[in-house]
Copies of this chain bind each other. A is one copy, B any other.
C-alpha cells in the first residue's frame, strides 16, 4: 500500500511530496474510520496514530489538532458524495427514469457509505459546529436541487408529475428515507426484529422508497 500512486509527477520534490501526500491520505483514511466509528469525542488520537503507517506526531504535523483532523475528514466525506450525485446525467433521461435514477443512486450511496452517514450523524450531534467551515457544500447542494427542479418541471410539463412539489422538500424526503435506513439501523433492527442489512431486505426497502416517492410525485 505504499508509494504506488503519482510517481509520474514532474516537479523536483516529487518523491517527498508524494510520500507526504501518502502519509496525509493514510492518516485521513484511518481517521475517517475512527471518527465515523466513535464520533468526535469518542475517537482517540492514539488509536488513529497506532493504525496509521506513521506516528502521532505526524497527525499534529499535518493537521494541527484533533478538531482540524475531524474537519478534514468531514470535508473529504462531503467531497466524495459530491462527485457521486453530480455524475448522474439527467438530461438524457425521461423525468420518471431520472427521478428513479436519483433515488437509486442516493439509496445505494448511503448503503455503501455508512461511514458518511455516521459522520453526518455525529456532526448533527455537534449541532453542525464544523460544517460551516467546509467549503463548497452549498454549491454542491444547489446543483442537486437544480437537478431535481429540472426533473420535476420537465415531468410536470410532460404530465407525468403533479404540480406544487418543492424540490428541496423532495430532496429532504429522498434523503430522509435513504439516511434513516442506515443511521437508525441498530435501534430499529433491534426494536422490530427486522433485518436491515441483507441484500434481500435492502432490495425490499429500495422498492418501497421508490414506490413512496413515485406515488407522491405522480400526476
What residues of chain A have their CB less than 8 Å away from a CB belonging to chain B? 38-42, 118, 120-128, 131-132, 137-138, 141, 145, 166, 168-169, 171-173, 175-177, 179-181, 183-194, 204-205, 208, 211-213, 215-216, 218
Contact = CB atoms under 8 A, between A and B. Distances in A.
Contacts of A168: 192, 194
Contact of A141 (B179, B185, B191, B215): B191
A40 B42 CA distance: 8
Contact of A192 (B145, B212, B216): B145
Given A176-B177, A192-B145, A192-B168, A131 B187 contact: yes
Nearest to A125: B39
7 nearest A-B pairs in the assembled complex, by CB-CB distance: A128-B186, A176-B180, A41-B42, A215-B215, A41-B41, A215-B216, A141-B191
Given A125-B39, A183-B124, A172 B188 contact: yes
Contacts of A179: 176, 180, 184
Contacts of A190: 128, 131-132, 137-138
A138 B193 contact: yes
A205 B125 contact: no
A211 B172 CA distance: 14
Contacts of A126: 186
A109 to B, nearest CB: 15
A175 to B, nearest CB: 7
A186 to B, nearest CB: 3
Contacts of A189: 128
B186 A123 contact: yes
B177 A177 contact: yes
Contacts of A120: 184, 187
A119 B82 CA distance: 29
Contacts of A187: 120, 123-124, 128, 131
Contacts of A138: 190-193
